[in-house]
Chains A and B, each alone.
Chain A
Amino acid sequence: MKIIATDRRGQIHEIEGREGWSVMEMLRDAGLDIAAECGGACACATCHVYVTDGWFDKLPPRSDAEVDMLDMALAVEPNSRLSCQITCTSELNGIKVTVAPE
């Protein structure tokens, strides 16, 4: 599957997503500027992305823990997600995300 990710400079990256891994891991390994301080434990809100172009509604809903943690994120929008909580699957091939401002 592919992830189409826009970084903080507006540059678009096409990233190969490994099924079963989180979108955060893919963004981080591709060298995008994403802090992911807690390493994927849903404990820091520094892997915040906007899921765009209709992809937000295709994702499983946020867990309570993720909703809570988004309270610590900056510039939260209705399509905000923590990318450590999105698992790469074939259904998400082509998912579009934009890294939220720091």
Chain B
Amino acid sequence: MTSPIETDVAIIGAGPIGLFAVFELGLLDLKAHLIDILDRPGGQCTELYPEKPIYDIPGLPVCTGQELTDRLMEQIKPFKPEFHFGEMASALEKLPDGRWKLSTDAGTEIVAPVLVVAAGGGTFVPKRPPIAGIEPYEGKSVFYAVRKMEAFRGKNILIAGGGDSALDWTINLAPVAAKLTLVHHRDGFRAAQHSVNQMRELAAHGKINFEIASVKALHGDNGMLDSVTLSSPDRPEWKHACDTFIPFFGLTIKLGPIANFGLNLTENLIAVDTAKFESTTPGIFAIGDINTYSGKLKLILSGFHEAALMAQAAFHVCRPNEKLRFQYTTSSSSLQKKLGVSG
């Protein structure tokens, strides 16, 4: 067991607001660690709409979700934030000295006087197909991700979906599986064209099967699958033998473990004041889409403002005996030095 990381601020969520919070905290010499379930920064911006243009960022007439994320990463670089990607913030504990200990599902522990929840709508989780009785199979013969390919060697695999993950894993698992079938509701795919071509090539050579169908029911015992019922608009339902089912329908957002942090929640949102954006639990702040207050607008620009005010308040929690000096980046040589731009 490694010892916990000690820092000034632990931030849950590396979306645009969590990233900009690093900047505002950094100007005040506060260090931050960020946790995000995704494997890269950007949150919804990069997960849901990396290529979609955003038109309402002040001073940036148009930029995509990916560009905004890239620019924020560049802007916060001088403050050397530390990221814990692919981890879910899973538990929160108040220590006797008044600081918070935030733990992740990967075993990371961060101890800090301030916790900032910038988690958007919560955590991204795989979409679970609405098939009755799927739960007992999950983790035994139904999987939503492939962690180790070897675990699938010799299996009779059924993959469902038409996006990049479904196609990529069809291609990658084909040589490992005893038999592999891809099902999708139409003969067209949302995935990269070269992956689609590769999949069709494998199907043409009998290395995999492709069926236009959807999975209606699972059959098996004690969580071990032996077959599924498939259906398609133009033929009667039929049974398909398989021992492993991997549905890939992308991610959706659930509040997740934050619900158990003892915070004051209103319809899955954290109630905050509008002077500090602090929750009703002292030392825990909430900024961006996850918070609620009178007049709240779920806009990126509102989250940026919330991050700035939060940082001022967080300073007093982290440095109770120091005086905060308000300065402008245009004129303050000490801020410019922090940003690495001083002459």
Contact = CB atoms under 8 A, between A and B. Distances in A.
Interface residues of B, number: 25
Contacts of A45: 250
Contact of B249 (A35, A67, A68, A74): A74
A75 B214 contact: yes
Interface centre among A37, A39, A71, A76 (most CB of B within 10 A): A71
B48 A37 contact: yes
B59 interface: no
Interface of B: 44, 48-49, 52, 121, 127-130, 161-163, 184-186, 188-190, 214, 233, 249-250, 252-253, 298
Closest 8 CB pairs of A and B: A101-B130, A71-B162, A71-B190, A72-B250, A68-B190, A43-B49, A76-B185, A43-B48
Given A71-B184, A71-B189, A75-B130, 5 more contacts: A67-B186, A71-B190, A72-B161, A72-B190, A78-B233
A73 B44 contact: no
Contacts of A67: 186, 188
A15 interface: no
A38 interface: yes
Interface of A: 35, 37-39, 41, 43-46, 67-69, 71-76, 78, 101-102
Contacts of B128: 74
Contacts of B48: 37-38, 41, 43-44
A65 to B, nearest CB: 10
A70 to B, nearest CB: 8
Contacts of B249: 72-74
B52 A75 contact: no
Contact of B253 (A35, A74, A101): A35
Contacts of A75: 129-130, 214
B163 A38 contact: no
B245 to A, nearest CB: 14
B187 to A, nearest CB: 12
B188 A35 contact: no
Contact of A74 (B129, B163, B233, B298): B129
B121 to A, nearest CB: 6
Q: Is the interface of B mostly helix, strand, loop or mixed?
A: loop
A38 B128 CA distance: 18
Q: Is the interface of A mostly helix, strand, loop or mixed?
A: loop
A38 B250 CA distance: 14
B284 to A, nearest CB: 24
Contact of B163 (A71, A78, A102): A71
A58 B185 CA distance: 22
Contact of B52 (A43, A71, A78): A43
B65 to A, nearest CB: 9
8 contacts: A37-B252, A41-B48, A67-B186, A71-B186, A72-B161, A75-B214, A76-B214, A102-B130
Contact of A46 (B49, B161, B190, B252): B252
A35 B252 contact: yes
Contacts of B189: 71
Contact of B127 (A41, A68, A69, A74): A74
B161 to A, nearest CB: 7
Contacts of A38: 44, 48-49
A32 to B, nearest CB: 14
A69 B190 CA distance: 7
Interface centre among A39, A43, A46, A72 (most CB of B within 10 A): A72
Given A35-B252, A43-B49, A71 B161 contact: yes
A72 B163 contact: yes
A37 B130 contact: no
A29 B321 CA distance: 48
Contacts of A69: 190
A41 B189 CA distance: 19
